[in-house]
Structure formats: C-alpha cells, structure tokens
C-alpha cells in the first residue's frame, strides 16, 4: 500500500526525486522483511541475553561513563571518604586485558563529586575482586587512605558479605577456621588457585584428629557464616571474614562447606578450568542449560561495612543494595530476602 501511494505521489516529480523516493520505498520494504523474518529467541537465549544486560553494561565503557555510574550510585560520603557501589566485572586496578578500572576513573570521579573543582583527589583504601560487587571505600586524601588501610590490615573493619551458594551448608551457622595457601593445580590446564591447608587430619581409624605440621606458605583464615534462607537446592548465606586472605570466602564456601558460590567457575573444579557444573533442578529454576552456565556471574556481594569511630567520632556504617542479577536469581530460586539481616 505504501508503494502504491508513493507511486501516485511521484507523478510530476523530477527523475532525481523519483529515484530518491524509490530508494526510500525499497529500504522500507527490506526493513519490514527483516523484522518479519527475525528469528525468535528461545527461553534460554532470552535468559542469557538478560544476564549479559545485567552484568556487562560497564565493563567496556568510556571512563567518563563509568565515573558517572559510580557517582550516581554513591552510598556514603563525608569530609574524609566516599563509599561506592562497585559493579560486577569491573577491575579495581588496571592490567593486561583491563580496558577501564576503578583506579583509572578516580580523577574523573573526584572532580564530578566536588563540582569539577581543581585539585580534587580520591585514593583506594582496599580492593574487591573483579567479579565481586558491593561497598568499596575511597579516601579524599592519601593520609585518610593510609588510616583506613591500617584499619583493614588490623581487622578492625567489620565486613559482611552475602553469597548465593549451590547446596545448603551444614551446620547452618558456625566459624570456619582453616588456613589457606596458593597451590598449583596440575592437569590438562595447569594453573594456580587458593586452597585449604588444614592443620588437622582424620586419624587412620577415623575416630579422632591428628595435628599435622602447618605449611609455612599458608595464611590463617577464619570466616563466620550463617544461612539466611534455602530453596531450590541453593542457599543465601551471610559471611563475616575475620581475616582477609585472597579468595577466602570463595575457598571456605567451596572446599570447607562443600557449597560453591553460584557462578564461581574458578573454584567449582580443582584440576580444570571449566564452567560450574549445576544440578538439573537448579538449571531449570534459573532458566538455563548447562551449556550456558558459563554466563552466570559470581554471586558474591559486599553488602555492609562498619568502620570504627576514631577521635571521638561515631562508627561509620555503609549498606549496599544487591545487584539486579542477584535479586533475579533469588526470585527464580524462590529464596526470600530476609527483612532484617
């Protein structure tokens, strides 16, 4: 119909104008055909697309875009520090394969936060893994950064994490106190990862424990945990790391409790690098197939920080909301969010 109207309208026009209208008509016709013939996505493909949209928005953006997103999501600020909501998949420090990091955008974020005032600065106080989301502190001066780093180093900062685990930890709450060390995993794909280094082993008769010599390379690691809710073969777990060893929460969940964090493809297997293997029931509830499990992000979120008051000042508490992908997973698994945690 559009083509007929166009033909009638073109009567009396110059050849160049008729040619122009013909080109428009052809593009319109092809566009309709392309839209009509576009294949529909399967439910699994739709779910993968959703996961990508929820986790990859800020991984390859211009530094200004990342700085604006961090500024919009500020959790707390005073004269000495800022608390940001670190997105998934964004590295704290630069390095090979890192396009934009938190450290890269600190000068931009500092100016944005101070009305583009010259001389504004921000400094890192600690770090979170690239795949970890949540509350992260920045200091307005190097002196303040040093003070906060000392609080972290001496374990005076109270940290609370929420994870979504595959499986239900038994017992439902307790303290894991098992040292951790870095070790090479041999196999088809040799690589290094953190693992447990127990100081006790079960005796040969299975009736008691025998103390073994501690590995000099191991670091003391203690984590307090409690299960907040379980359903669909998964659990929402709250963890308080008492120490601060690399990948401590991930290792204690996977190897001490036997409940790997959802989306933790690194610690789902020991001797190979492969996507996390999930039970059929969990895959079904998440709307995925095993071949698409690699798209699941790590469900590890720094939800709360408390800094002790210094010099008569009150404690500083920072809460950070869960990312959308974490909430969607809870909803699909039918694990309710606790009213108070």
Say how far apart CA 42 and CA 38 lie, in whole Å.
13
Q: Is 264 a catalytic residue?
A: no
Say how far apart CA 119 and CA 224 lie, in whole Å.
42
Residue 112's φ and ψ, nearest 5 degrees, are: -60, -45
Beta bridge partners of 85: 135
**Strand pairing category for 180-185 and 200-202:** unpaired
Task: Evaluate whether 235 touches 227 at the Cβ level (below 8 Å).
Answer: yes
Task: Evaluate whether 302 touches 128 at the Cβ level (below 8 Å).
Answer: yes
Say how far apart CA 304 and CA 136 lie, in whole Å.
9
Catalytic-labelled residue, pool 129, 177, 264, 315: 129
Dihedral angle at the C-alpha atoms of 116, 119, 123, 129, nearest 10 degrees?
A: 40
For the annotated catalytic residues, the residue numbers are 129
């Amino acid at each position: 119909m559009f083509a007929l109207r166009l033909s009638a309208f073109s009567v009396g026009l110059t050849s160049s104008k008729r040619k122009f209208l013909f080109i428009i008509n052809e593009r319109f016709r092809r566009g309709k055909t392309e839209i009509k013939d576009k294949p529909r996505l399967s439910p699994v493909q739709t779910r993968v697309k959703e996961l990508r949209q929820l986790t990859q928005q800020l991984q390859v953006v211009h530094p200004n875009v990342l700085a604006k997103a961090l500024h919009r999501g500020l959790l707390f600020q005073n004269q000495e520090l800022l608390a940001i909501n670190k997105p998934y998949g964004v590295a704290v420090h630069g390095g090979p394969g890192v396009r934009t990091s938190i450290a890269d955008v600190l000068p931009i974020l500092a100016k944005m936060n101070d009305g583009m005032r010259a001389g504004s600065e921000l400094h890192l106080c600690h770090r979170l893994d690239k795949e970890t989301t949540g509350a992260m502190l920045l200091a307005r001066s190097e002196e303040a950064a040093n003070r906060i780093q000392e609080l972290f180093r001496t374990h005076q900062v109270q940290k609370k994490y929420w994870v979504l685990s595959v499986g239900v930890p038994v017992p439902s709450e307790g303290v894991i106190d098992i040292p951790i060390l870095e070790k090479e995993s041999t196999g088809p794909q040799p690589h290094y990862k953190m693992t447990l280094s127990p100081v006790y082993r079960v005796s040969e008769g299975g009736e008691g424990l025998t103390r073994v010599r501690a590995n000099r390379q191991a670091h003391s690691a203690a984590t307090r945990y409690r299960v907040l809710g379980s359903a669909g073969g998964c659990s929402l777990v709250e963890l308080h790391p008492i120490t601060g060893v690399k990948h401590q929460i991930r290792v204690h969940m996977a190897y001490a409790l036997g409940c790997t964090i959802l989306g933790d493809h690194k610690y789902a297997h020991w001797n190979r690098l492969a996507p996390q293997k999930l039970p059929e029931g969990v895959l079904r509830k998440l709307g995925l197939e095993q071949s698409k499990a690699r798209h699941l992000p790590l469900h590890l979120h720094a939800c709360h920080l408390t800094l002790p008051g210094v010099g008569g000042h009150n404690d500083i508490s920072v809460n950070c909301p869960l990312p959308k992908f974490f909430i969607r997973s809870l909803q699909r698994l039918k694990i309710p969010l606790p009213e108070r945690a």
